[in-house]
Amino acid sequence: MKALAQAKARFEAYVREMERHLQRLRYAWTQLGGPRPLTEQAVSALLAQPSQVALLDQIVYRFAKMQDALGRMFRWWLYLKGEPVESMSMIDMVNQAARLGLPIDEETWFKLRALRKVLAHEYEEEPASIAQMLSQIAVAQETLVQLFEAMKRDRGVSAP
């Protein structure tokens, strides 16, 4: 039962990590009066103020960290449900999680991953592009929070 206890401990550690990222993320959004769609003009105004740029950076950073933590938490959640995660592809995991009642589907998952990749590897400079990116983060954040809350509600163990 040692492995099970360790798995539970890992899962709970990710719950705490998620809560920290979410708290910081929500703080940054609140400072910008959101989460809400920002216009190109609003973003241009933000970019002129270093303290506001720091908030934008905080949103991107915390969102990315939260998404990574959620991905790991998701594996442990499935493991604790008795799923053979070592031999499952990402698609298998997403589909199985959906069958077990989590609010996720393949296209949403791949879209979240595409956003993560863009945030990591691309650098947006144009206010219009930044505004669109922030809108996507706001939408994706809501999806991640729903998923997080569902995993927390249903964190029971089903004999791995």
The smaller minimum CB distance to another protein, of residues 66 and 112, is found at 112
Count of beta carbons in the 10 Å neighbourhood of residue 24: 17
Dump the DSSP string for 6-37: HHHHHHHHHHHHHHHHHHHHHHHHHHTT-SS-
Q: Which residues contact 49 (CB under 8 A, 6 or more apart)?
A: none
**Contact window for another protein (CB under 8 A) among 11-19, 26-34, 102-110, 141-149:** 102-110
Q: Is 58 in the site for another protein (CB under 8 A)?
A: no
* Contact (CB, 8 A) for 131 and 40: yes
**Least spacing, CB of residue 109 vs another protein, in Å:** 8
CA distances 105 to 11, 93, 98, Å, are 22, 10, 6
Among positions 61, 136, 150, 152, the unique one binding another protein when judged by CB under 8 A:
136
**Least spacing, CB of residue 48 vs another protein, in Å:** 22
Among positions 88, 90, 138, 150, the unique one binding another protein when judged by CB under 8 A:
90
Residues that bind another protein (CB under 8 A): 90, 106-108, 110-111, 113-115, 117-118, 129, 132-133, 135-136
